[in-house]
Every structure is written in structure tokens, then in C-alpha cells.
Structure 1
Amino acid sequence: MSPDRAVLQRALDRGESEGGSVEFKERLRKDLHLSDGRRESLAAQLRHRVLSGDGEATYVVGVTDDGGLAGVPPAEFSESMDVLSLLAEEAGAHIEDVQTWSVDDAGASAGTGTGTAVDDADGIVGVATISEGAVLGTDDGHIVVGTAGHVDHGKSTLVGSLVTGEADDGEGATRGYLDVKPHEVERGLSADLSYAVYGFDADDQAVRMQNPHRKTDRARVVDESDKLVSFVDTVGHEPWLRTTIRGLVGQKLDYGLLTVAADDGPTKTTREHLGVLLATELPTMVAITKADLVTDERLEEVEREVEGLLRDVGKTPLRVERHGVDAAVDEVGDGVVPLFVTSSVDGRGMDALDEVFRRLPKTAGSDGDFRMYIDRTYSVTGVGAVASGTIMRGEVEAGDELLLGPMPDGSFREVEARSIEMHYHRVDEAKAGRIVGIALKGVREADIERGMVLVPRDSDPQPVREFEAEVMVLNHPTRIGDGYEPVVHLETISEAAVFHPDGGQLLPGDKGKTRVRFKFRPYLVEDGQRFVFREGQSKGVGTVTRTDLDD
């Protein structure tokens, strides 16, 4: 039996019970289940299921009261999810995840899995996971920190100790407080982005996680905090550098935190991740971890190595132990990188990090017209094409008229934001920093590609095939010459490009101007945007300086 199929089978085996967390529904209809009186009753029922499941309930849709596989047509399943989302919202909860199967697959030994398209002719059975608390949003008091660092440099463990206030056991126990997959915990390696959150209350006291296995704990932290600090924990292993780039370049982050293990020192991956952070123009800090494992002499040696690395890329290191938290808060960014010495085992440097995060302001701006670079696309039965991504600036409302593009020929298509969802939680509007799915009217899912953008219909977007940039070569075996062809990562764009540097070449460590031409199609690029470029062992960062070039 596949793992996906097992999710459904476990829910069916548990069945409905008066004090249980599982609820069977054949279908939910807006005209019937949202009518006066019925809505309040069903919301109370959902609340009961969530409380019975210690903050999490399971709704199986497309089954009879006794658990028989009935299935519902795709359009009715979509309507059922809309109704369930509204009921969850009224009950102070949200839909965390949905898995679907066709009736034939649900009754067989293999499921279609999460997000798998189901033939419109088939009936659908779905399992929705309902979690307590509203969808975590972003506001002026919520800073988002992207972490980076070489594998086994204590990155996830450091974050785990921060959000819990607990010392690690020296074996990485506190990393279990992050939103990670079981196989990652077992191996001690992160293979995808993971998330964690803690906060500070009105009295400036830390509000921390207490139990990583209870989703209600995150809701409690959000509820009790006047200021939230969220971590997007990226991947430290070299094969997943592309995922790290997507996590740091494609997210709307306020700060970057780079970790360097005291027993290992800066590595090639450390330099690569620093380059990604520089490309995002994030105010960045460095935490030297595992200070408990080395002598004072070794610690001083690593601090000097890190300082040298920062100076090599034009940054000024600031030792927090020497200059204090005030200087770190006041000077982070603008070329200054605070340097912390920490240990998740003996607690060294953790209070200083707490104090800095408590006092740091939000930096990611949200002014300007709506813009969202598309990260992925999918088709929802009964809804149609959905474009998902992080809103980079502005806000969008359901019903807004938008432009989608550029298409391969550089044109934009008129579309309408039919609806906006966050984790199946339907909202009327969404602002900068939110990761959303926007159902689009007027386009097929097959015509939407990663790297396209959504902008207001009354705007005048000017896509480009070629732009000018200021670049820095971080690593290259020889030199970058005319015609060099890396992959450029800019927002959610990942596209092969051709470089034509001024003077014909750039050497490792050089800064210089170059023309960058996308090989296959135009994209919407604007002055000031940062990007990363990679090709084999060569890597670098850049800033778009001019887009109004003659073809």
C-alpha cells in the first residue's frame, strides 16, 4: 500500500466516533450547509473534532456515513472544500492539507497522491487535515529570517534552540522542533525548506514553542506574541543548493542568518550560501556555532577566517561579543555583518541572538503596485488554473483584473483573479509577503510557466530579453569570457543566459558590468533586482542596473 493511500485507509479505519477527531462527509453544499443555523452547527462540530484531536481534525469527503467510498464529481468536491474552508475559519481553524484520489484509485492499492490530477469523469475522495488557528500571516511586527549554512553546521539545531529556549543534547535534538519530514529527522539532514516560529509578548518576554508535535503550540505562540520571528530554514547539503537558492531568492525575507561550525570553519558551501544572501541584498548576520566543541584558540582562528571571508566580498564584520547588541541592531545591513559566537549546548550567544531578533525591525517593503512572480502552477478540478507564489509587493483582491506574462513572444494575457487561497483557506485579499494560490479565469494551466508574473491590468509591463548588470564572480576555475552561459536565478526565474562582460572577461573576485541575454525567451525584469548565476563550479551574484537596452 502506498503511503498516500495509507492516509485514507487510516482515516477510514479510525472511523467516526462521538469523541473522535475524524468526520465523514459525502459532500458539502453552499446552499445547504451554509444556511442559517446549519452553518453554526457544522462549525461547532468542526471545532469539537479539532479539540478532540488535540488541535487537528481529519475530514474525509466523498464517503458515506459508514465509510463507504461514494465519490463526488470534481465540481462538487471543489465546492465542498470551499464550504469546509469557511466552516474552519468560523471555528478558528484552517485547512492545512488536502489529498485526493479517484474512487477507483482510493479503492485500489495505490493512490493518486497529493495534488495529482483526477480525471473529470471519476468521482473524487479526499482527506482534509484541519488545524487549529488562523493561517500564519505577515504584518509589520513579523520578521522573516532565512537561514543558510553547510550541512552539519548546526543551522537547524540553532533555530530549534532559539524557538524553544532549550539546550541541545549535542546530537541535534532541538532540530525536531522545526517543520521537517520524518526521514530528515532520522538522517539528521534537511532535504527541503522547513519552518519555525517564536515571538515576544508585550513585556518583551520570549514566547517559545513547547511541543513540536502539537500544531496548537504554533497557534499559541502566534496568539500570545506581539512580535513574531519566523525562520525559513534552507538546505545545507550541496546536491540541494538549487532548493536553497529558491528558498532565499524566492521568499520575501527580512534578514539572513549564515551559520559556520567552529569545528569545521568556512567551507565552499559557506561561500556559496553567502553569495546567495548577498544576491538577495538581505541584511545578514553570521553565527559561529558549536563553540562548546573547540578551544579558544580554534574559535579565534575561525572568527578570523569568517572575517576574512566577509571582507573579501566587501562586507565589514562586527563581533557582537566585543561591540555589543546595540551596535548589531543599529548597524546590520549597509555593509555591516554582525558576527555571533554561539552554542546550542551550553547556551553561549543565545541571549544575544534573542535580544537582536526582539529589536530588529521589519525590512521587506510592500509598497507599490501588485506584483507576484509565479513559483508553481496546478489545476484544481472545478476551479481551473491556479498560479502560486509569494506576493512581492502591493495587494490583490478576488475579482481583480490582471495581466499574466510574459508569454514566450513577450505578450501579456488578460486574466481575472477568480479566487485567492492560502492552504485551501479562501481569503478575499492578500498582501505582500503572503504565499498564495490565485485561481485565474481566462487562461489554461498549461499556458502558465514558472517565472511569469501577475501585475495589474492597467499597468504597462515591459519584458526584456536582455539587460545590463553589475556582477561579482564568487567562484570560477579560470575566467568568465564573452559568451559564458550560466543559469540565472532571479525571483522565481531560472533561465539559461549568455553573458557579454565589458572588457571581454571577468576573473574570480572581480566586480564588473556585463550584458545578460536570456537564451530562450523574455522575462519581466526591473532595475535593482538581485540575482544569482551558476554554471558548473562557477557561481556569482549580480544586480540589474539597466533594462532599457536597444535590441
Structure 2
Amino acid sequence: MSADRAVLREAIEHGEREGGSVEFKERLTRAEHLEGGRMESLAAQLRHRVLSGDGEATYVVGVTDSGGIAGISHDAFSESMDVLSLLAEEASAHIHDVQTWSTDGNGLVGVATLRNGAMLETDDEHVVIGTAGHVDHGKSTLVGSLVTGQRDDGEGSTRGFLDVQPHEVERGLSADLSYAVYGFRDGEPVRMDNPHRKDDRAGVVREADRLVSFVDTVGHEPWLRTTIRGLVGQKLDYGLLTIAADDGPTRTTREHLGVLLATDLPTLVVLTKTDLVDEERLEEVTREVERLLRDVGRTPLPVARHGVSAAIEEIDETVVPVVRTSAVTGEGLETLDAIFEQLPKRAVDDGEFRLYIDRSYSVTGVGAVASGTVKSGVVEAGDELLLGPLADGTFAEVEARSIEMHYHRVDRAQSGRIVGIALKGVREADIERGMVLLPRESDPEPVREFEAEVMVLNHPTRIGTGYEPVVHLETISEAAVFTPDGGRLLPGDTGTTRVRFKFRPYLVEEGQRFVFREGQSKGVGTVTAVNPDGQDRSE
């Protein structure tokens, strides 16, 4: 056993003892260790180990009861950490640190340090950034390099940290939203070795006093709806638009910029792949980008000329900083670090708790989990909530069993956090994207129809009564029927229209922004008035 395994060697040599703080486990599974009363007994065992160690216990995973190195697969180890996290929560403790080593059989053995008390508070600053850009313009590669500190090999190696689905890796395209996080402590970056490892991501949340989360969206035209969902459905603080220096702005670039600016999101433009072009081409693309920004009424601010401080002070709905980068050479990455370390968190909404559901899944032994971004307020484990509206317009009563942020168990989450909430009282099959979680005492009114002011960004002809695009509002993606005032809207027009969801009601409120699209037609809008169910003018 080599010197770097001293922690593992010491834990094994210490051994399991009655009244000791060390516990050996070959593996932990949801099916075996969270069912039929096992969870309570194992949590009690964990609590005993923590108290025996004066507030700290050591769990060695991937070893036999006698301490022999067994080794388990990466998936089995990940599941074991999930189960251990749940047991720790049940025992009023938390996982503080995890170290792993490879075995001769290509398996894993690890040492988890558990400490007394709940997870850390989550009131520190947490900036959420939505990225957009044309396919192959380096969004995922850039984010992968930022969160790991690793340079790309020119073939998209750091992009692989975000393309987690097998078909995405094979095609080199991202087909859904990816989430990544890194942070800063005392001004220095806190990064991950591998964002796929839950303990790496949880470690960043534990160690950093400032977090930066990325909602890395897709750029390929068939998946533009997913980009819109990412930009409209999240509680974003800033936007980041990537434009490749070898390609320059494209039609998709202009569409993504239109969505970012139409939602009044302060945006940063990052020129990527500068290593692939000479200085003359780089200057040409820079001028083209600056013209594009001026054409839409925005002022470009080249960071190389004006500095990081100016970018941080000036970025808003009208001023757009521009940074040149290369994930291969590392150019501009330190500049982005400096910007993200100092960008102020936008105003937190302290109103009533609200979370629009982006996705849901089921965890054996835990149950249904709803994931999304907290739009306003605060939620705590144990809170009694409403979930809905269901298809019939009603709301189900549920309880927040536990809350997780980037695979890190927390006691509470506030506005702007991307979280997963384990829900008691509902099946995962009954949870749909576009539903909302609210406090139990709320009196929500589901909406089938609303009035809106819209702007047509692109349309081949005119928009008339009966036009049926897909409306993207918060995490809602639903077909709707437009009835414009005056009977029509032309490309470039701004006007008012009645919007009616075709199939079911949702929770919609005045002032919410949305995007609509159908084929090549795209536009943005703002809700100006709502008609709760039972007051629909068409009924």
C-alpha cells in the first residue's frame, strides 16, 4: 500500500471495534439498506459511531467485514455514498469528506469522514449563469475547463465532463441541460477533478464560500426548445453567449442573443477558439460581434481593453462585456475566473417560496424527487407544500422530505438555488415539468388563459388569430392558441394578444416573461393579465 493511501491504511489498521468510530462496509444499496426498518437501525449505528468518535466517524467502503480490500464498481460506490448520505441525515450528521483509491481489480475503495450536525448553511452567495451559443461554438468545453481547471485537448475532452448521456458523447452534442458548479474560497478557485463524481461536486459546495453554477444549454437547431427552457425556466443571474472565432456569429447566435436580451438578462459574450485563428481574423470577428450588439441596442465592452473591474461595474441590460478565450491555450480563462469571483448576486426574491419543476425522478428508498431552481423564498426539509396544478387544476399536498444541491444534502435552500427535493405524498409518475411547488398555506389559482404583450422576432408571414406556437414560460412548455388584438402581428411587430393553453392549466402570473416558437417563427412576451380557470372568455 503506497504512501498516498495512509488514510486508508490507518482506518483499516484501526479496525472495527465495539464503541469505536470506524465502520467497514463492502457496499450499501438502496434496495437492501433503506428498506424494511434497515434504515433506522443503520442510522442508529452511524449515530453511535459519530458519538464514539467525539463527533466524527470513519466509514471504509469497498472492504470486507474483516477489512480486506474487496473493491466495488464506480456505480456501486456512487450508490453507496448516496445511501450513506441518507443514513447520515437520519442520524443528524453529514458526509464531510470522501477519498477513493483504485484496486488491482479496477474497482474502488474509499474512506468517508462523517461529522456530527446537519449540512452547512447555504446563505453564501451563489451566482447562476445560463450559457447559450451555436452548436460547436465551445459552450460545454468552456464550462468544463472552468469547473475543472483543465485545458482542452482540442478534441472536446473537457466537454465530456458535461455530455453525460452515451448518445451525447458519441455524437459530440449536448441533447439536454447540463449542470456544473465551481466556486471560490478567499478569492481562489475551488474546482473539481471530475464533475461526474458526486463527491467531487459536493466537495465544491462544502469548501467554497462563493458558488458559480452553470446551466449549460444546447446549441443544435433541433434542440433549440431545450435552450429556451434553460434560459427562461431557471432563476438566472447572468447570461453567457459563446461565439467561435473561426466561425463568427450565426443565425442561431442571433436567436440566442435575442432570447437572452429579451428576458433582460445581463449578458457576457465569450469569443472561443481563439487559438484556431490569426490576429486579423480575430479582429474581424470581434468587429462583427460588436456590430451585432450595437444593432440590438447594446454597448460592447472589450474586457481586454477596459479591464475586469469595468466589466463587473458596467455589465447590465445594456452593456455587454466581451472576453476572448481559448480552452486549449488557457487564454482568457483567468479573466473569466476573476469576473465570476466578483460578479454580484442579483437581487434575491424574498417572497413566498416557489419552485417550477424542471425534471423529476425516483430514488429507491427515498421516493419521488422534483428538481428545479428556487424562484423565490426559502424551503426547508420538513416543509409542507402544495404540488400542481394537476391536469384537473387541483393541487396535491406533499412534504419536503429532504433537499439536495449538487449532490450535497442541505437543510434549506433559498432563491436562486438549483435543488432536488424528495417529496412525500406523491408518485414520481404524477409529477410533470411545468408544475410548481408552493407553501401549503398558499391559495394558487390555475390559469388556462392570459393576456400578453409580445414581440415577433422572426416569422415568414404574419401571425393571425388561431396561431398555435409552443409557449415556454418558466419550465412550462405547452402548445397555446394566440388571438392577437387587431387580428394579426407582423415580423418585428410589438402588440398584445390573448394566449390560451390548449390542454391544461398552469400557474401563471403578471410580469412573467416567456418565449414562443413554431417552426422558424420565434418571439418573446410578457404576461400582462391572467384569467383564472372558470373566467376564461372563450368558455
Task: Note closer, same or farther for the CA distance 1:389–1:166 as it changes in structure 2 (3 Å cut).
Answer: closer
> What SS does the aligned partner of 1:47 have?
strand
The answer to whether the Cα contact below 8 Å between 2:371 and 2:418 also exists between their aligned partners in 1 is no
- Give the match for residue 58 of structure 1: 76
The structure-2 alpha-carbon separation of the partners of 1:360 and 1:374, relative to structure 1 and needing over 3 Å to count, comes to same
Selected match of 2:490 from 493, 503, 507: 507
Q: 2:120, 2:410 within 8 Å by CA — same for their partners in 1?
A: no
- Secondary structure, aligned partner of 2:129: strand
| Partner-residue secondary structure (3-state), 2:495 | strand
Per the normalisation by structure 1, the TM-score is: 0.75
In the alignment, which residue of structure 1 is the partner of 2:404? 422
Confirm or deny: 8 A CA contact 2:388 2:396 kept in the other structure.
no
Separation in structure 2 between the aligned mates of residue 20 and residue 504 of structure 1, nearest angstrom:
72
Distance across 2 between alignment mates of 1:174 and 1:414:
42
For each residue in 1:468-527, what CA deviation from the matched residue of structure 2 results, as whole angstroms up to 9, or x when unmatched? Answer: 222222222222223211000111211111222333333323333322222223221112
Q: Is the 8 A contact 2:450 2:499 kept in 1?
A: yes
CA separation in 2, counterparts of 1:367 and 1:271?
A: 34
Give the deviation of 1:542 after TM superposition: 1.6
**Structure 1's 140 and 242: CA in aligned 2 closer, same or farther, altered over 3 A?**
same
Q: 1:154 to 1:431 in 2, by over 3 A?
A: same
Q: 1:521 aligns with which of 486, 504, 509?
A: 504
> Contact 1:21–1:58 (CA<8 Å) still a contact in 2?
no
Which of 151, 161, 164 is residue 180 of structure 1 equivalent to? Answer: 164
Q: 1: distance between equivalents of 2:231 and 2:184?
A: 25
* Residues 131/371 of structure 1: CA separation in 2 closer, same or farther (3 Å cut): farther
What's 1:5 paired with?
none
In 1, Cα distance between equivalents of 2:26 and 2:202 = 21
Secondary structure, aligned partner of 1:297: helix
Of stretches 172-181 and 514-523 in structure 1, the one that deviates more from structure 2 is 172-181
2:453 aligned partner, one-letter code: E
* 2:358 corresponds to: 375
Give the counterpart of 1:143 among 127, 140, 148.
Answer: 127
Question: Structure 1 82/365 Cα, relative in aligned 2: closer, same or farther at 3 Å?
Answer: same
Aligned: 1:83 with 2:53: no
Task: Give CA deviations for 1:335-374 in whole Å, capped at 9, x if unaligned.
Answer: 2221222222333333322221111011262310011223
Cα shift at 1:158: 1.9
Larger displacement relative to structure 2 (189-198 or 149-158) = 189-198
Identity %: 65
Name the SS of the counterpart of 1:546 in structure 2: strand
2:147 paired with 1:163: yes
Say if 1:503 and 1:338 are closer, same or farther in 2 by CA, change over 3 A: farther
Matches of residues 96-111 of structure 1 in structure 2 within 5 Å?
A: none
8 A contact 1:179–1:196 mirrored in 2? no
Distance 1:318 1:131, change over 3 A: farther
Q: Give the Å deviation of 1:179.
A: 6.5
CA distance in 2, matches of 1:530, 1:330: 26
- Matched with 2:180 is 196
* 1:204-353 matched pairs, under 5 angstroms: 204-210=187-193, 217-353=200-336
Distance 1:60 1:175 in 2: 22
Distance 1:407 1:212 in 2: 35
What are the equivalent positions in structure 2 for 1:470-549 lying under 5 Å apart? 470-547=453-530
Tell me, what secondary structure is at the counterpart of 2:447?
Answer: coil
Compare 179-188 and 267-276 and name the one that shifted more.
Answer: 179-188
Counterpart Cα distance in 1 of 2:471 and 2:465: 16
**Cα distance, 1:258 vs. partner?**
0.6
In structure 1, give the amino acid aligned to 2:76.
Answer: T
How far apart are residue 377 of structure 1 and its match? 4.4
Of 469, 475, 480 in structure 1, the residue corresponding to residue 452 of structure 2 is 469
Distance in 2 between residues matched to 1:56 and 1:538, nearest whole Å = 45
SS state at 1:327 partner: helix
Contact in 2 for aligned 1:194/1:233 (Cα 8 Å): yes
Matched with 1:9 is: none
**Alignment partner of 1:389: what SS?**
strand
- Change over 3 Å in CA distance of 1:468–1:220 after alignment to 2: same
Q: Which amino acid aligns with 1:156?
A: S
| Residue 546 to residue 308, structure 1, CA distance change in 2 (3 Å) | farther
Question: SS where residue 191 of structure 1 aligns?
Answer: coil
2-structure distance, mates of 1:349, 1:310: 20
**Residue 48 in structure 1 maps to residue 60 in structure 2:** yes
SS across alignment from 2:471: strand
RMSD: 4.1
User: Could you tell me which amino acid in structure 2 is paired with residue 286 of structure 1?
Assistant: V
Sort the Cα spacing of 1:215 and 1:407 in 2 relative to 1 into closer, same or farther, 3 A. Answer: closer
CA distance, structure 2, for counterparts of residue 220 and residue 81 of structure 1: 13
Correspondence for 1:413: 395
Distance 1:517 1:131, change over 3 A: farther
Question: Structure 1 248/39 Cα, relative in aligned 2: closer, same or farther at 3 Å?
Answer: farther
Is 1:146–1:256's contact at 8 Å kept on the other side of the alignment? yes
1:107-163 Cα offsets, whole Å, 9 max, x none, are: xxxxxxxxxxxxxxxxxxxxxx99889989954322122211111112222223333
Deviation at 1:279, TM superposition (A): 4.8
TM-aligned CA deviation for residue 548 of structure 1: 5.7
The CA distance in 1 between the partners of 2:143 and 2:429, in whole Å, is 39
**SS of match in other structure, 2:60:** helix
CA contact (8 A) 2:179 2:215 kept: yes
Cα separation, partners in 2 of 1:146 and 1:55, compared to 1, 3 Å = farther
1:435 equivalenced with 2:411 (yes/no): no
Mapped partners of 2:194, 2:239: distance in 1: 26
CA distance in 2, matches of 1:79, 1:198: 24
1:33 equivalent in structure 2:
42
Give CA-to-partner distance per residue, 1:3-60, whole Å, 9 cap, x none.
xxxxxxxxxxxxxx99998426744524433336774279988732289879978369
The 8 Å contact of residues 46 and 91 in structure 1, kept in 2 or not, is answered as no
Alpha-carbon contact 1:23-1:60 (below 8 Å) kept: no
- C-alpha contact 1:154 1:289 (8 A) present in aligned 2: yes
Q: 3-state DSSP class of the match of 2:423? A: strand
Cα gap change, 1:148/1:21 in structure 2, threshold over 3 Å: closer, same or farther? Answer: farther
User: Is contact 2:360-2:432 (8 Å) kept?
Assistant: yes
The answer to whether 1:360 aligns with 2:356 is no
Mapped partners of 1:160, 1:462: distance in 2: 41
Which secondary structure state, in structure 2, belongs to the residue aligned with residue 540 of structure 1? strand
- SS for the counterpart of 1:520 is coil
Q: Match of 2:141, as an amino acid?
A: T
What aligned pairs does 1:440-451 form with structure 2 within 5 A after superposition? 440-441=424-425, 447-451=430-434
